Amino acid sequence: MDLKLLRRRNEFEWEISPHGKMRVPAVIYASEDLIRAMDEKVYEQICNVATLPGVVKEVYAMPDAHWGYGFPIGGVAAFDPDEGGVVSAGGVGFDISCGVRLLRTGLRASELHKVREDLAEALFRNIPAGVGSKSHIRLSGEELDNVLLGGARWAVSRGYGFPEDLNFIEENGQVKGARPEEVSPRAKERQRPEMGTLGSGNHYLEVQDVAELFDEEAARTLGLKKNEVVISIHCGSRGLGHQIGTDFLKEMALAASRAGLELPDKELACAPINSPVGQSYLGAMRAAINCALANRQMITHFTRQVFKEFFPGTKLELVYDVSHNTCKEEWHNVEGRRRKLFVHRKGATRAFGPGHCELPYELQKIGQPVFIGGSMGTGSYVLVGMKTSEERSFNSACHGAGRAMSRTQAIRKFQGNKIVHDLKARGILIRSPSFRGVAEEAPDAYKNVDTVVDSAERAGLAKKVAKLTPLICIKG
Amino acid sequence: MTSADRQKRWEHFSHDADIGVRGIGPTMKDAFEMAATALTAVITNPQSVRPQTAISIACSAPDRDFLLYEWLNHIIYELDTRRMLFSKFEIESISETTLQATIYGETVDLSHHKPAVDVKGATMTELKVSEENGHWLAQCVVDV
């Protein structure tokens, strides 16, 4: 991106002043190097978001921002329903409530060494991953509606995990206001064979080593110890969320056109929050959030079963579960006034600071955990929300490393089997149904996650707690 | 191969996080069929998919851009719910707003097809159906 387009507020904060139809300024949080490498489309898209009705204060792009659909991936914007604010299907994305959860095992990395090949195989066999993979579970129509209402709470009630898990999931594992009746029969049909599956693309289950600690106190609170093993699970609402995205993108685009709402990009299709289409989407989207929470809870259960075979007596405890494609109703202070807003986070993680009323008691002192997935070869990070994130970004932080290269470029440049071989030589085991899929997710196809996370911290969004490096990656 | 067949082709184009599918041909029908082949090629080599089972598809939309969006999303729905891949697309009738087709394919065989990625949905990003000098183009970015 051309730096001349931006006004530098400080080292990690860049402003785009309102111009054209923009109602509010846009702000990008990133280092100068990341800004220079950032796609011009991020500029265009974040400016487009700032034109939407009812947008509040400023719109934001996170340090990992890249070209998305309507919204940039790594885009954050809040809307006030009382000022004509909108909800946008493109602002949430197709993989509704895609997110990451982290489990701690209490095992030393050295304890894993002897069994790691067998463990990788067992995880690959028991966690359905990739295209066409089938779940062992088939839900009736009524039971699927229970999933959409109950989320992770439904999963726990059916024996997938423990009640104490719910304490460490956003909204305690169940988003209120879900309306399964607003979810199309096609969306439900797509989900039927997919409950408890990881999916494909950038989704994964990774066994990781806590390689480095940056904040001892926060790490202690989260039960993270150096050289111990943790597990990251990255997936979302599967076919149900994808179909809800497809259905409402079209419905909102047509409704906007009927209402004479001029959109700078079809993909920014949206509807007033206080309108039948807006309410219908919110009901369906919340159902998809619950679906994703139940899905990650079920995969957690399968993972625990596998670990029990190898390490009897080991308890895999949930550190936390975050979603990074959502629109959530939240209270925020804006210019001294407490306002109920609908915060869109497209490829961005909620990052409540210490003391936030929605955090469980155990996390009050440190803030909300934020999990940043890097690429297969590099590593991931655990951060916690900072007090300043309220003022800076409606309590939001980045979600990943962000792609540096498109899939088409990655396939041309990398060979999946070579990547698997090279990573094995570095002690990282990859299991995937597709070498091409591995090539598309090649470590070098992503930005440097260290730089992204440093920018998030120095911009006052979230603070580094630990770096995790991969040992085993089950790639969907 | 007729000269019309030679003018038909598909290709992928780059998008930061995802991938674009594009069909090109002498008619709108050809461009739509080729765009569907490009969609399969996101997942696997279309030549590896045997056209064994036929599925009927009918869709309608307010204009031809939305019609392409609907066409590709209908195929994605069939891919997902039937666990199938498709390699032959025969559009029997097409207008600016409606389409009737039969698509042919087979159940996914993981070891044979080695599917790389699920397609979540066709998007409205770079969505375009256009005609210039007798060449039709149908394209959009698909979310994977």
Of A66, A199, A253, the CB nearest to B17: A66
Crossing angle for the helix pair A141-157 and A276-310, nearest 10 degrees?
50
Beta bridge partners of B24: B9, B137
A434 vs B122: CB contact, 8 Å cut-off?
Answer: no
Of B69, B113, B117, the CB nearest to A201: B117
Cβ–Cβ pairs < 8 A, chains A and B: 132
**How many residues are recorded in chain A?**
476
**pLDDT at A119 (0 to 100):** 97
Mean pLDDT is lowest, of A15-29, A238-252, A436-450, B61-75, for: A436-450
A301 catalytic residue (yes or no): no
**How many residues are recorded in chain B?**
144
A13/chain B closest Cα distance in angstroms: 23
Chain A contact present for B58, CB below 8 A? no
B41/chain A closest Cα distance in angstroms: 11
* pTM for this predicted structure: 0.94
**pLDDT at A126 (0 to 100):** 93
The number of beta carbons lying within 10 Å of the beta carbon of residue A139 is: 18
Catalytic residue (choose from A203, A234, A301, A399): A399
B16 vs A408: CB contact, 8 Å cut-off?
Answer: no
Say if residue A151's pLDDT is above 80.
yes
**pLDDT at B2 (0 to 100):** 66
Confidence of residue B1 (pLDDT cuts 50, 70, 90): low
Chain A contact present for B1, CB below 8 A? no
What DSSP string runs through A2-19?
-GGG-EEEETTEEEE---
CA separation for the pair A325, A347 (Å, rounded): 5
Which site among A135, A144, A406 would you substitute to test the B interface, given the most B Cβ atoms closer than 10 Å to its Cβ? A406
B77 vs A186: CB contact, 8 Å cut-off?
Answer: yes
Say if residue A449's pLDDT is above 70.
yes
The gap between the terminal CA atoms of chain A, to the nearest Å, is 32
Summarize pLDDT for A190-248 with one digit per residue, the tens: 998 889 999 887 899 999 999 999 999 999 999 999 999 999 999 999 899 999 999 99
**pLDDT at B22 (0 to 100):** 97
Beta bridge partners of B102: B56, B90
CA atoms within 13 A on the CB side of A23: 16
In contact, A208 and A470? CB cutoff 8 Å: yes
Chain A contact present for B102, CB below 8 A? no
